[in-house]
Structure 1
């Protein structure tokens, strides 16, 4: 948590998002510190992945105690890894008007791709 806050502050991410949402593309590019910004997707996605694994561990422990599994179970680590890869590449290449927009678009595209790869590989294992 401290690492995420540090990277967020040092990269000026909040100001970049502020200017991006106001349509001030050049100002968004001017305030962001790319050296720190490139750490953010990795830290953020790693935190998401840790939370996912913790939830799986809790569900396993509850199952061992005889408590039934929840009806809806999350299976998205492929999405997290794709999100991290896409956000990092999008922020570093900045192919849209802003590193924020590029990171979000590339992150979602790669996240969906990572989830699809995981889904197809799991489906193939079921046969």
Structure 2
């Protein structure tokens, strides 16, 4: 693999994909995948009515948010969102590693975190948490509960990934 002269920050790539799936790929100069992810994100937003549901959620009209969202299309969004961030981060790691070293990077990072994010967001989107506690009423909105459970899933996924990485490293050291 040839050396790439341009430094790419993995966290910058991930944050660009957080802003809009596909932007991190454009940052990494992965134009075809970036445009595909942007197109897919726009299609999912249009068919799932996600932005309209988000608007109703911010206005506190959670019943209207549930009514307007198309869950069949909305369930695709978390996987596109998480994959875009995961791929952009890992691609930037490969670019940075190939710039600094003459070897290829074979490890991927944050797989558990982004898998947990996807699972948590899907669970939160489909499982409506009806709480009557004023501080937690935002969980009645499908988008907010998806984001909230997505963050919990991301944390759990990352902890599980770290646990298994530690177990793998300790078994290598004992052999």
1:1-127 alignment, distance < 5 Å: 1-64=38-101, 75-95=109-129, 96-127=139-170
Deviates more, 1:92-101 or 1:50-59: 92-101
CA RMSD of aligned residues (A): 1.8
In structure 2, stretches of 5+ residues that fail to align are 1-37, 130-138, 171-175
Deviation at 1:21, TM superposition (A): 1.1
User: 1:23 aligns to what SS in structure 2?
Assistant: coil
How far off is 1:10 after superposition? 1.1
Shift of 1:65: 5.2
Moved over 6 A (4+): none
The separation in 2 between residues aligned to 1:121 and 1:65, in whole angstroms, is 28
Q: Which runs of 5+ in 1 are unaligned?
A: 67-73
Normalised by the length of structure 1, the TM-score is: 0.85
SS of the aligned residue for 1:15 comes to helix
